[in-house]
Structure 1
Amino acid sequence: MLLGVIQEKNRNTFTVTDPTLILQALVSLKDVRVLDYYRDRQNVWLRVEQVLKGPSCPTCRTRAWVKDRPEVSYIDLPVYGKSMRLIWRKHRLTCPNPACAATTWMNTDPRIAPVKGYLTTRAAKWATKQVGTGRTVKEVAHELGCDWHTINDTVTRYGAALLKADRQRVNRTCAIGLDETSFVRLKRHHTSFVTTVCDVENHQIIDIVPSRNYIDVAHFLTDQPKQWKERIEFGTLDMSPTYRAVFNVILPKVTQVVDHFHVIKLANNTLDQVRRRVQQDQLHHRGRKNDPLFKIRRTLLVGQDKLSEKTSERLTCLLTLGDPNGEVAITYRIKERLREFYDQTNMESARELLDELITTCRKASMPAEVQKLGATLKTWHPQILAYHHAHHSNGITEAMNNLIKRVKRVGYGFRNFNNYRTRVLLYAGKPHWRTLDSITIP
């Protein structure tokens, strides 16, 4: 038994002593013969030749002749801390059959390098993964010893092929999120926006839609497989009428959930608007550092349960000085009641509290800003209340937008949407990188 194990180990052990064979093994290219290897101050040069086994004419299947052997240089993976150039000694073949329409052709092998490309196949896939996982194009180009455009074109080409071939990337999910993010600032007062479609359950970006209008977003969801759409139970959004219309028409059975962050933000904005108006009505100028309401502008936005006793007393005193009619104080209490709504653990108690808030806000005695808040809460009542049923939020989509912003910072912004979409999905779309090994670009 022991002898059998030793013999098996010997068969798997690399015992070649010929330097040429060792170099061929290190090069790790199939059906390739190493012809030459040398180094200079900048690059490592490796000359190889493909081993042909009975080449034949693709038209008449007659055995082909070698007419010429041109050499083509490609950018290869770096070695020993230096960039490497692979010189491929190709075979230009010709058909000896005079009746054949084929004249001459170049023998190609996509395992070594694609026909239209400056990088070897393995270098192109390596560069795609490096850029796709967060490195800058400039860094990868410097390491390979080439220019920025060469790497960017390669990453876009192979990245798009990976996203198309990776059919397992988009998982079945029960919750998706829609959110807008800025793409490029075209003019001073005009910014182009795109829509992020996020898998809230699996924390990944499904795709990027080139705009935020109803037609494009609805068209994207319509094109998705029927089984995938039927499994979706919840759709998270940020009080956008456009995205609500998309869910109502394309996914009518989905329970829409408004993100609690945006609801609290809306209440904070309402409180700040009331404070600014009261400040202007009382003192007839914008807030200054010694004005009572200006001193507590940030304290008003903090939850009451997070304030110390000293801070609470200071808040009460300054509200008394700067808010004689109590408009800011009542708006502050409404904001706090809205925060209490999200602390409820029972659906019925949450519903009663939300209905009470809406009724209070819509009273004629309330400030105009608070009445507007009440109208908004009434409009989005089902979506706001659904948070207690779904326990999903658009926070995951917002987190994915942070990853998108990181890609934009690394790339110093984008103008080409296809490049932008590819880079974002490679970084935050969770592609299966093993699929890249099986991709062949002719």
Structure 2
Amino acid sequence: MTSKRDIKILTELIDLEDIKVRSHRLHDGIGIILQTESKKLYSICPRCGTKSQKLHQNHRHIVKDLPFGDRPVFLEINRRQFKCEICKKPFSENLDFVRKKRTYTKRLAQKTIQEVLENDIHTVASKGIVTTEEIEGMLKDASEQLSNSKPLKLKRLGIDEIALVKGKGNYCAVLIDLDTSKLIAILSGRTQEIIKETLIGWGTEVLEQIKEVSIDLWKGYKNLVTELMPEAQVVADRFHVMVQINKELDTQRKKERRNTQELIKKAKTSKEKFKQEQILSGLNKSKYVLLKNESDLNEEQKNKLIQVKAVSNSLKLMHELKEKLRRLFNKTNDWYTAVFKLGIWLSKAKKCFPNSNNTFIRWFDEIVAYFDNRTTSGAVEGINNKLKLIKRSAYGFRNFNNFRVRCLLNWHFNY
């Protein structure tokens, strides 16, 4: 028999408001079972808000709770049914610590979700406290609140994408609050239709308050912003602009390397062959030193860069122009000066970067818009890296929706 002192201690230990322990049992191989009851003698009718003390019937069942040390704990609870004296209809009392039709307490669900976010479903389920099906139910409950929430304070939006399966062309769109560096939404695809549906779902109240939208150089994103957020400034993300430059620079590097290899094969004299082999030696393993920021190179890499420039005038010029553009982004603080400097850069880069030059002309206003507030999607890259880590550890998720929920909970779950 449980003493009054034991009941008091156990009641304090479970720490549930208006709930007290009546008795406890210890079962080998199962755990501790605590029989509980509500301290309240009444419940409030959900239909009319009237207090009722008229007990209709008892509904006893067992739910899982946080363990005591390594011992599982189960609560035998009574979700009583009262009869409303006004409505004349029965209703079940609301218990704040456990959701209806759930076999676990809210705090166990919260702790389990936290563990899942740090590991994966199978690892957490292997502890034997909750099953994989219960974990997925916990995630579903948590996602309901996420689904109904809107980014009411959103001022600067970032739109980007992440590959769900690398090399398969299977991408999903990610929407980021650039001011808080938080993931707002992750969508099953990156088409205009899918993104548009989500944006419209936020409502005009949210869309009208967005001042800037940072995007990569895809016209589809630009069209969406123009259509749904006509007052927002579209900003071409500077990092994607540099990706365009680096891509063209690397294409030229590959082209020169192939041409040099062909010349070696066609060389008629050993002198000609030796000359081309020296050029090829300079071009080999040069991708990293050409594409990385020059200021971040170590001494060995700087020497390699000197070697590359010595064997290729075109790569030398393209690399110098690339670095000038990077410094322009870093050091120019107003759009007026940026327009002037970008104009000069474009005139010099026209022959070396023909594709990028055309892109810059088409996106000139959006590129210059960066210099108003220096808005970038830099936070997106950090978030994308975290999403990739989640993707690799999320083998316990059976579908995209579960993956989406886990991603959102990483930024919005209250531990």
TM-score by length of 1: 0.75
Q: 1:150 aligns with which of 134, 153, 162?
A: 134
Tell me what 2:281 maps to. 291
Tell me what 1:98 maps to. none
Tell me what 1:197 maps to. 175
**What is the deviation of 1:43?**
1.9
Residues matched between the structures, number: 392
Q: 1:403 aligns with which of 386, 402, 408?
A: 386
Judge conservation of contact 2:79–2:95 (CA < 8 Å) in 1: no
**What is the deviation of 1:237?**
1.0
Change in 2 beyond 3 A, CA 1:264/1:82: same
Judge conservation of contact 2:172–2:189 (CA < 8 Å) in 1: yes
Judge conservation of contact 1:183–1:193 (CA < 8 Å) in 2: yes
Q: How does 1:377-396 map to 2 (within 5 A)?
A: 377-396=360-379
Tell me whether 1:338 sits opposite 2:325 in the alignment. yes
After superposition, give the CA deviation of every residue in 1:167-203 in whole Å (9 maximum; x if it has no partner): 6xx3413211001112357xxx644322111110122
Change in 2 beyond 3 A, CA 1:64/1:336: closer
Change in 2 beyond 3 A, CA 1:120/1:308: closer
The whole-number CA distance in structure 1 between the counterparts of 2:335 and 2:53 is: 79
Secondary structure at the aligned position of 1:88 is classed as strand
Q: 1:351 aligns with which of 339, 343, 352?
A: 339
Secondary structure at the aligned position of 2:189 is classed as coil
Tell me what 1:124 maps to. 109
Tell me what 2:121 maps to. 137
The whole-number CA distance in structure 2 between the counterparts of 1:211 and 1:129 is: 27
Change in 2 beyond 3 A, CA 1:51/1:328: closer
Q: 2:204 aligns with which of 221, 226, 231?
A: 226
**What is the deviation of 1:305?**
4.7
The whole-number CA distance in structure 2 between the counterparts of 1:80 and 1:340 is: 57
Tell me what 1:244 maps to. 222
Q: How does 1:300-379 map to 2 (within 5 A)?
A: 300-305=290-295, 315-321=305-311, 323=312, 326-342=313-329, 343-362=331-350, 366=351, 370-379=353-362
The whole-number CA distance in structure 1 between the counterparts of 2:44 and 2:326 is: 77
The whole-number CA distance in structure 1 between the counterparts of 2:404 and 2:299 is: 50
After superposition, give the CA deviation of every residue in 1:375-422 in whole Å (9 maximum; x if it has no partner): 111111111122111211001122222232233233237452332222
The whole-number CA distance in structure 2 between the counterparts of 1:295 and 1:192 is: 30
Secondary structure at the aligned position of 2:287 is classed as coil
Secondary structure at the aligned position of 2:77 is classed as strand
Judge conservation of contact 1:173–1:231 (CA < 8 Å) in 2: yes
Judge conservation of contact 1:198–1:204 (CA < 8 Å) in 2: yes
Tell me what 2:271 maps to. none
The whole-number CA distance in structure 2 between the counterparts of 1:86 and 1:111 is: 14
**What is the deviation of 1:328?**
2.2
The structure showing larger relative contact order (alpha-carbon pairs under 8 Å, at least 6 residues apart) is: 1
Judge conservation of contact 1:92–1:107 (CA < 8 Å) in 2: yes
Letter in 2 for 1:88: I
Judge conservation of contact 1:195–1:211 (CA < 8 Å) in 2: yes
**What is the deviation of 1:123?**
2.2
**What is the deviation of 1:427?**
0.9
Change in 2 beyond 3 A, CA 1:175/1:273: same
Q: How does 1:11-26 map to 2 (within 5 A)?
A: 18-26=5-13
Tell me what 1:216 maps to. 194
Tell me what 1:81 maps to. 70
Structure 2 unaligned blocks of 5 or more = 266-275
**What is the deviation of 1:87?**
3.0
The whole-number CA distance in structure 2 between the counterparts of 1:83 and 1:28 is: 16
After superposition, give the CA deviation of every residue in 1:31-56 in whole Å (9 maximum; x if it has no partner): 55523332525522223355784799
Change in 2 beyond 3 A, CA 1:174/1:263: same
**What is the deviation of 1:57?**
12
Secondary structure at the aligned position of 2:74 is classed as strand
Secondary structure at the aligned position of 1:422 is classed as helix
The whole-number CA distance in structure 1 between the counterparts of 2:198 and 2:46 is: 42
Greater mean alpha carbon deviation, residues 245-254 or residues 105-114? 105-114
Judge conservation of contact 1:358–1:375 (CA < 8 Å) in 2: no
Judge conservation of contact 1:293–1:319 (CA < 8 Å) in 2: no
After superposition, give the CA deviation of every residue in 1:89-136 in whole Å (9 maximum; x if it has no partner): 666899xxxxxx99xx8956443544422213332344345445x343
**What is the deviation of 1:24?**
2.7
User: Please, what is the CA RMSD of the aligned residues?
Assistant: 3.8
The whole-number CA distance in structure 1 between the counterparts of 2:250 and 2:128 is: 54
Judge conservation of contact 2:44–2:93 (CA < 8 Å) in 1: no
